[in-house]
Each structure stands twice: as C-alpha cells, then as structure tokens.
Amino acid sequence: MKILFVNEIREADAYTILHEPIDSIDLMERASSAFVSWFKENYLVGNYKVKIFCGLGDNGGDGLAIARMLHPLGYDLEVFVVKFSKKISENFDQNLYRLEKQIPVKIIDNESFIVNFEKKDVIIDALLGSGLSRSLEGLLKSVVEKLNESEVPIISVDIPSGLFANKSNNLSDTIIKATHTVSFQIPKLAFMLPQNAEFVGDWHIVDIGLNEDFIEKVTAKFFYSTPLEVEKLIKPRKKFSHKGTFGHALLVSGSYGMMGAAILSARACMRSGVGKLTVHSIPSGLAIMQMLLPEAMYWETASGESDLFISTQYNIENIANKFQAVGIGPGLGVNIKIKESIEQLCELCAELSIPMVIDADALNNLSMDENRESLSKIPKNSILTPHPKEFQNLLNKSWKDDYEKLELLTQFAVNQGVIVCLKGANTAIALPDGTIHFNSSGNAGMAKAGSGDVLTGMILALLAQGYSPKEAAILGVYQHGLAGDKAAQNRGMNNMIASDIIENIRF
C-alpha cells in the first residue's frame, strides 16, 4: 500500500472528484460515513457520551458530518466548533448548515472556555487534518491542551490535530494525543515513526473510494506492506520438489558463550522452508548444535582457531556450487580477526554472486574502521538487518529525528546498493531503488534478546530458496512479526521469548 504525501492525497481527492465524478461535499460524506462505521463498532451507542471538537476547514467539516450521522443512531452528542480564524471552508459551511437543522452547536471562541469531562466521555478530534500549515498556537493550542488533559479516549479524524503528516514537528509542539486515529484510505508517513507514537495511538485505515487508477500512477517513495500484499509473495511447495529444490544455506554464527544466537538463527532458518542448512562455527559449539538441532549440519572452524569465531577456511571449493545463500552475524563477537573472516566471506560471495544476509556483530565488525572502508566489501543487493544502534555504527553518526533517520537510511541503501532492514516497530526496509517499505506485523513482546537472530535465520532460508533479496526482506520481516504476534497471543507480550517466535513461524 502506498503512503502518499499531503499534496498527493489532495491530488487524489481532486482527481476522484473530477473523474468519478463526485461533488467534494459528497466525498466528505463518504469519508465521514466510513469514520462512523468504524466508530459505532468500537464505541457502542449507549455506553458513551460523545464530544466532537471541530475546526473550520474540511477536517472540521468531517466532524460536523460525523455528528449529523451519529445523532440518528442514538448517540448522546455535544458538538463544539473552535473559532480560531475567520476563514472557513465551503464544505464546513455546508455541513454546519445541515447539522444545525438537527442539533445545536456550541462555539468556543476564547481561551477561558470550560468543558467538563466525565468518565463516560469520548472525544472526536476534528480540529485540523492534513491541512495543518504551522504549529498550533493561541486558542487551538489551548483547546488541544485541555483535550489532552481530559483523561478520556480521543479518536482523531484522519490525523491527530497538530501533527504534520510528512514532516517533523518541533519537540515543543502541542499535538492531540489520540487513543485511535481513523485515517482516510492512505496511511500517513507520520504514523510509521516512533517519535509520533504517543500522538497517533492505534491507527486504522478506512476506505473512502479515492480513484485507484490515480493512486496506481503516483510514484511513491514510501510503502506500508499489508498482509494481503506480502502473503502473495509466498511460493507454494511443488509436489515433486526435493530438498535440493529449496537450497542449501550457510549460517556463520556463534562463539563461546553465544551459541544461543546460532541455535535460534539456525532453528528459525530450518522452520522457514530451507532444504538444507550448514552452520559454520567454533569447535566447542558442535555438540550443542547437534543435540539441539539435529536437522542442521555443522562445519567447525579449524582446530587451533580460538573460541571466538575466526575462520580462514573460505575458498571457491568449499563455497561455490554448494551454498545458495549465506547468513552471517548473530553472536560472532567483535575483533580484528573476526572482521577479516567476514570480509573474506563477503568478497567470495560477491565474486560468486551468492546472496547474503548480514546481521548483528557482522555489522559491528564491518563498522570497525574509522572511515568505514570495510563497507565496500559488502556484496551489492545484500540484506543488512541492523537495529538502530547498529545502523548508527554503520553510519558513524546519529540523527536528530525520525525523518532524518529515514533520509540517512535511503542514502545508505542507495549508495551502498544494499537492502537495509532497520528493525523496530514498523521495521523500515530500504531498497537500493530509494523506496522504503514499512512492516505491518510485530509487537513489543519481541523487544527481547534473540528476536533479531530469529529474523536472520528466516531471511537466510528465503534467500536460499531463491526468493529475490527484496522479496526475502519484505516477506521475512513480515513473517517474523506475524510469528511474534501469534507468540504474543499464546504467551503474552511480557512472557514470550525468542524461541516462541520460532515455534509460531507458519507460512
């Protein structure tokens, strides 16, 4: 699903109005009715007193139309119009006329207004939408402050009032803190970013029938991967297939005291459809791996090499025509010799065009040099799976806000010619073509040691099976989150561990 910028959404509105054709006021009617469908399912009539706060633009117009639609359903309603300006939109004006025939509207025109909130209240925030042009001040600011202090649920129409849809707010800005945001058809970039989580709450998309042909033609930079889109990528297993059909993966992982990372990664790999898996790790890990994961083969580093992961055994004979994909990183440790091993394997994979997924300590090792010259060894189209700290290490710098983080992410993916899965809620997958795809699955129960190792194994399995790096990244990240969601359902977010994610992998 495309994430469009505000000007593109406006163009989509205008195109729909012209080509459907439909009057602007009727499109607003459709949007408001879509909001009402969501609202009446989630806030049952009789249980709540609804207070609707409307601005003077089209977002306010939505609020008035919503009030008119909720009234006949039997909702106990109060409607407030905040007169912060002399300018009103035509759709607002028309909806005010329509509503006032049904119920009276209260005007808030100065900062000394008083609204008393009760436990049963729910607020609908229709003050400002995507037309926000500057930070809130004066009357609007003080209304939003009072709504935020009310301690009752706030449902924002389209976007929380005061939040910019596709650029950063100032830290000091006053913004509605919504419990839910019900947004029209197209998700906003702001919803994807950690810095806005406290304002957006849980967000939901409702369809308002904007012209699909128009949306199809827009060249988007940001995407939100919906379950339907991602599940289409899954390749069925053919009846006469055999283990060779599904590839042989090489996982380079583990060191003394960190064999757990290798086991989690290896098990997740085998649970994700790969034909065969070889784990390359230290001699003392052999018994552990063979006992805990008998399905995997083991290639131990040469004797004499230490309990740190250090290998000098990579050459054409033992890699070419043997492995279809290589995963490297979980639990390796960081030191100069490990770095050299990683570089050697990267160079060989580049030469042999073997796809790679590079994670955790492999990334930390490649970030070791002051001038990051090791990064040039990473084969093009490799998948890198850093968490934010690892990504800062790769860049050798930090960012001032999440928007700058996205810019740096795009630059890195384009300049290095790699795919970067920047992990977290809504993992951002940056492709070398300059696009970013946000993941839709996963939960905070996954914020635990070992979850990332599981992801590496899953992506490795997909690469070995012949999924393209783009497919492997998008599908792997999604299925990892989905397995995490199932684990959270079964065990609870506090109680689930990374092994539970593996037990719930199913696709």
Ligand X SMILES: Nc1ncnc2c1ncn2[C@@H]1O[C@H](COP(=O)(O)OP(=O)(O)O)[C@@H](O)[C@H]1O
Pick out the residues of the known binding site for AMP: 423-427, 452
Point out the residue whose Cβ comes nearest to ligand X. Answer: 452
Q: Is 476 in the site for ligand NAX (CB under 6 A)?
A: no
Q: Is 453 in the site for ligand X (CB under 6 A)?
A: yes
- Contact partner, 156, from ligand NAX, ligand X, K ion, none, Cβ < 5-8 Å per class: K ion
Whichever of 122 and 140 has its CB closer to ligand NAX, that residue is 140
> Where do the H-state alpha helices sit in 5-73?
6-19, 24-42, 58-70
Q: Which of 57, 450, 469, 476 binds ligand X (CB under 6 A)?
A: 450
Label residue 255 exposed, middle or buried (CB < 10 Å: 0-12, 13-18, 19+): buried
- Contact partner, 89, from ligand NAX, ligand X, K ion, none, Cβ < 5-8 Å per class: ligand NAX
Q: Of the ranges 80-88, 387-395, 459-467, 490-498, which one interacts with ligand NAX (CB under 6 A)?
A: 80-88
Q: Please, are residues 277 and 269 in contact by the beta-carbon 8 Å criterion?
A: yes
Omega within 30 of 0 (cis) for the link into 21: yes
Q: How many alpha carbons lie under 13 Å from residue 352 in its C-beta half-sphere?
A: 22
Contact map string, positions 140 to 179, toward K ion, x by CB under 5 A: ----------------xx---x------------------
Q: Which of 233, 266, 310, 360 binds ligand X (CB under 6 A)?
A: 360
Q: Is 443 in the site for ligand X (CB under 6 A)?
A: yes
Contact map string, positions 156 to 195, toward ligand NAX, x by CB under 6 A: -xx-------------------------x-----------
- Per DSSP, the three-state class of 420 is strand
Q: Phi first, then psi: what are they for 322, rounded to 5°?
A: -115, -50
Residues making up the binding site: 58-62, 125, 129-135, 158, 161, 261, 331, 387, 423-427, 452-453
Q: Which of 1, 3, 4, 13 binds ligand NAX (CB under 6 A)?
A: 13
Q: Is 187 in the site for ligand X (CB under 6 A)?
A: no
Q: Of the ranges 132-140, 392-400, 403-411, 422-430, which one interacts with ligand X (CB under 6 A)?
A: 422-430
Judged by CB under 6 A, how many residues of this single chain contact ligand NAX?
28
Output the DSSP codes for 236-281.
PPPTT--GGGG-EEEEE---TT-HHHHHHHHHHHHTTT-SEEEEEE
Q: Output b/e per residue, 351-362; b: 16+ Cβ within 10 A.
A: eeebbbbbbbbb
Q: How many residues does the chain have?
A: 507
Output the DSSP codes for 463-496.
HHTT--HHHHHHHHHHHHHHHHHHHHHHH-TTT-
- Contact partner, 447, from ligand NAX, ligand X, K ion, none, Cβ < 5-8 Å per class: ligand X
Q: Please, are residues 458 and 479 in contact by the beta-carbon 8 Å criterion?
A: yes
Strands 222-224 and 436-438: parallel
- Contact partner, 31, from ligand X, ligand NAX, K ion, none, Cβ < 5-8 Å per class: ligand NAX
Contact map string, positions 41 to 60, toward ligand NAX, x by CB under 6 A: --------------x-xxxx
Query: CB of residue 30 vs K ion: minimum separation in angstroms?
Result: 17
Structure tokens that stand for 324 in this block: 């279809």
Query: CB of residue 261 vs ligand X: minimum separation in angstroms?
Result: 7
Q: Is 148 in the site for ligand NAX (CB under 6 A)?
A: no
Whichever of 13 and 359 has its CB closer to ligand NAX, that residue is 13
Rounded Cα distance between 423 and 409, Å, is 12
- Per DSSP, the three-state class of 362 is helix
Question: How many other C-beta atoms are found inside a 10 Å radius of the C-beta of residue 444?
Answer: 11
Q: Which of 30, 248, 387, 486 binds ligand X (CB under 6 A)?
A: 387
Q: Which of 129, 187, 331, 452 binds ligand X (CB under 6 A)?
A: 452
Whichever of 129 and 452 has its CB closer to ligand X, that residue is 452
Could you say which residues in the range 122-141 bind K ion, by CB under 5 A?
A: 125
Rounded Cα distance between 5 and 13, Å, is 12
Structure tokens that stand for 330 in this block: 């979980």
- Contact partner, 27, from ligand X, ligand NAX, K ion, none, Cβ < 5-8 Å per class: ligand NAX
Residue 320 identity (one-letter amino acid): A
Whichever of 157 and 473 has its CB closer to K ion, that residue is 157
Cα–Cα distances in Å, from 176 out to 32, 198, 217? Answer: 20, 9, 33
3-state SS track over 145-202:
HHHHHCCCCEEEECCCCCCCCCCCCCCCCCCCCCCEEEEECCCCHHHHCHHHHHHHCE
Q: Is 444 in the site for ligand X (CB under 6 A)?
A: yes
Q: Of the ranges 7-15, 79-87, 158-166, 440-448, which one interacts with ligand X (CB under 6 A)?
A: 440-448
Binding site for ligand NAX (CB under 6 A): 13, 24, 27-28, 31, 55, 57-60, 62, 84-85, 87, 89, 128-134, 136, 140, 157-158, 184, 208
